[in-house]
Amino acid sequence: MNNDAQRAAEVVRQVGGVLFGKEREIREVLLAILANGHILLEDIPGVGKTTLAMAFSRTLDLDYRRVQFTPDVLPSDLTGFSIYRREQEAFVYQPGIVFCNLLLADELNRTSPKTQSALLEAMQEGQVTAEGVTRKLPAPFLVIATQNPFGSAGTQPLPESEADRFTVSLSLGYPDLDSEISMARAVGLTRPVDYLRPILSRDELAAIQADIHEVYMHEKVYRYLAELVRATRNHVSLSRGAGPRATIALVKLAKAAAWYEGRDFVTPSDVLGQFPYVAAHRLTLSPDAVARHITVEETLRQIAGSVRKPPIEARP
């Protein structure tokens, strides 16, 4: 493992010190950040999503902002707006809350579709257009969005086009018993997250993201990756499969996973390990599958078992 990968592992360790028992989920969020992607957390309130975002902003030296999405949040709250300054005798643009490195979009599925769509340009292009003027966002620009379980009070499903912009989706879930005891012991006058210090700078993160792009992937692994994604489009339990953005996201995540493990090449196991995180939020179960209580997770396991994994475990 190279020095940068060791420091990335230290980020996981430090964040794990304030979010107990969630090392696998913390690692996955870091991989998405290293792949310059956005993260969707699908969970109930109160399991540590805000702590997770704050911890990453501190360990990666990222400018952090949080917006609580409610029905009255407007698109201009995100993108910015102009107000008249009498002393300047002119309208002056006030940047919106998206002008940061790491945005926590909390309970995104509680706000209106119009406000949700204001994030699309920012997430896809790293820019916003307000009042006819396009402005670039700081780099990197990453979104960690949370959504309450569908059916909770005041929620509505994310539009498919918006869900597709998220590189991965995952759930933190409740802590196990030992982790909850550790959490209880840590209760005090100060928050553990306040003691976290930067381990990687923004420039170092950008350099790592460029290095990950150069990780080698064999043609047979590319084919295996594409076959996994394509298998979601004709599965009997799915009425909607994953689109081409899933293929792109899976390439980036598999390379990030290989880099994190200290390798300069991707194995089929890297692809398979990231496949559920990339695909789950992009799929829609068929009415028959819903009636038979078939889950997306079960369907993804069936797909993974049906696509032959090439025997490539080393770089040629």
Kindly report the backbone phi and psi dihedral angles of residue 67, in degrees, each rounded to the nearest multiple of 5, phi listed first.
Answer: -130, 130
**H helix intervals, 101-144:** 113-125
Question: Please, is 103 exposed, middle or buried when counting C-beta atoms within 10 Å of its C-beta (0-12, 13-18, 19+)?
Answer: buried
Kindly list the structural domains of the chain, giving each domain's residue range(s) and its CATH number in brackets, ordered by start: 1-73+100-213 (3.40.50.300), 215-316 (1.10.8.80)
Q: What pLDDT does residue 232 have?
A: 97
Angle between helices 268-279 and 23-34 (to 10 degrees): 90
| Residue among 276, 16, 304 at smallest CA distance from 170 | 276
Q: What pLDDT does residue 316 have?
A: 63
Q: What pLDDT does residue 154 have?
A: 63
Three-state secondary structure call for residue 65? strand
H or E segment and range at residue 35: none
Q: What pLDDT does residue 315 have?
A: 67
State which amino acid sits at residue 231. A
Q: The tokens 């789950």 sit on which residue?
A: 280
Q: Is omega for the bond preceding 140 within 30 degrees of 0, making it cis?
A: yes
Q: How far is CA 298 from CA 105, 126, 303, 307, in A?
A: 29, 35, 9, 15
243 Cβ neighbours under 8 A, 6+ residues apart:
164, 282
Q: What pLDDT does residue 64 have?
A: 94
Walk along the chain (316 residues) in steps of 10 and give the mean pLDDT of each run: 87 92 94 96 80 94 92 89 83 90 90 84 89 89 86 70 92 86 78 88 94 94 97 94 96 97 95 97 93 94 94 70
Tens digit of each residue's pLDDT (9 = 90 or more) over 84-135: 888 877 888 889 899 999 999 998 888 888 888 888 889 989 999 888 889 9
- DSSP annotation string for 163-204: HTT-SEEE------HHHHHHHHHT-SSS-GGGG---SS-HHH
The whole-angstrom distance between residue 266's C-alpha and the CA centroid of its chain comes to 21
Positive/negative CA dihedral, 19, 20, 24, 25: negative
Angle between helices 49-59 and 3-16 (to 10 degrees): 140
| Residue among 51, 45, 52, 169 at smallest CA distance from 110 | 45
191 Cβ neighbours under 8 A, 6+ residues apart:
18
Q: How far is CA 84 from CA 93, 94, 283, in A?
A: 9, 10, 46
Q: The tokens 């699309």 sit on which residue?
A: 120
Q: What pLDDT does residue 153 have?
A: 61
| Residue among 158, 160, 141, 142 at smallest CA distance from 150 | 158
Q: What pLDDT does residue 242 have?
A: 95
Residues 199, 200, 202, 205, Cα dihedral to 10°: -150
Kindly report the backbone phi and psi dihedral angles of residue 47, in degrees, each rounded to the nearest multiple of 5, phi listed first.
Answer: -105, 10
Q: What pLDDT does residue 151 have?
A: 59
